[in-house]
Chains A and B, each alone.
Chain A
Amino acid sequence: MSFTFDFYDFTSFTQWVDVTLRGACSPFWAVLWEMVIVGVLFLAFYAVVGLYLVYAERKICAFIQNRVGPNRVGPYGFFQTIADLIKLLMKEIISIREADKLLFNLAPFIVIITSFLALAAIPFAKGLHPIDLNIGVFYVMAISSMGVVGILLAGWSSNSKYSLLGAMRSGAQIISYELSVGMSLIAICVLAGSMQLSTIVEGQRDLWFIFKGHIPAITAFIVYMIAATAETNRGPFDLAEAESELAAGFHTEYSGIKFAFFFLAEYMNMFIVASLAATIFWGGWMPLHIPGLESFNHVMDFIPPVLWYVGKTVVIILIMMWFKWTFPRLRIDQLLNLEWKFLLPISLVNILIMAFIVLMGWQIGL
């Protein structure tokens, strides 16, 4: 099979890799090699994205706060987080007396692994999709809510009151907001008629879902943004690590690279949540198409899907950082009130409205 590298469609490229491998060795080894390749690529991707999200956050918060931010290591402090990582790697890992050693050491890995697993189902571009499950949305939801186990373990095993309080808060918070995230995603699944992420993206060929589903889609998007910010433990919902009350929250007792794992996982979760929002609401890698404007659609098609995907994700990440650096923090009871009394009822009603609109065929662009 000949291979032409197409920046707009990775399908031929990935199929060429698959066919070549299968031709070279037995099916078992071919699959194993594919897994190794994807794993290594993901590890690199994970590290780079994690580090540069930290860098981006520091630069953006510096911009909002009238500061310069990192500017020493490399141009514009571009290698600052790499230097930080090296420092964190060399720092002593302090073990706490009376702490549950096994769980204490296990917790950061659980947090990291769940964010890894969730990343596997994200469609980065056409054909650039590590695993295309038919229950993609469901899978990402289920996996990303596993992270709370790591946080709870971290808080529980640290043998520290602040950590325990932080972990309990975080448990209550993540589990409740998970519901709103799920409900707002289900609203779009109703509109798309599928839970498979590739189908959802294809379904936005004529128009993105946020426009297609008009009012309920916009409601779902807003609910998703709020709930997803809370679910990733970011400000103004960063109660798990509310530094003004709990010193540092669930990771108070962690040091060195283990602390960095929590940090990295937090940023990766933000990335996953943002890419999911981009995929579900803003069409993922699908260019902006407006029904009826054929020439405009054609021009949009020239921009590679990867760029569309990255652009949308970056915009959503920026919005989330903007939240964090402008709002003060909520109180735990207000946080839970917001979820159970407002977001959840709104998103439940929203699903009904969405189902009604789909049944009546009132979507725009059909």
Chain B
Amino acid sequence: MIRRLLLVITLMGTQAFAADPAIFEFDDPTQAARFQQLAEELRCLVCQNQSLADSHADLAGDLRREIHQKMQEGATNEEIVDFLVQRYGDFVLYRPPIRPTTYLLWFGPALLLVLGFGVFIVSMRRRNQSLTPTLSEAEHRRMAKLLEEED
């Protein structure tokens, strides 16, 4: 059992290694870092919860090769991202662009926070108001009478 578990762990390790983008050759380390950063910002469409850098899917490998090749040809990050968005849609981006269809995604949490805070303030005010007793006209008279009697 333990042996099998160890085997699984070992295999997991080698798999992660297989996806290592270091198999691509770069002229200088800044290029390699740029490649790594790009691959981490882009989503693998097959596994969806993994970036192109992490994914072992066949397609992710192809797309990494595509990115590498485009970098060698001197493409900018923007050009590479555009190339992928044109083909796979905004879904390849881990950080979706800000546009009307994604407003809720971007600003929804802040909106909820503001709303929640508003509700909190209003309910606090109401509570304070209900704590300060207000007496009706009749009650006032009755109270005055009671106080008089005490004297």
- The answer to whether A and B interact is no
A residues touching B (Cβ–Cβ < 8 Å)? none
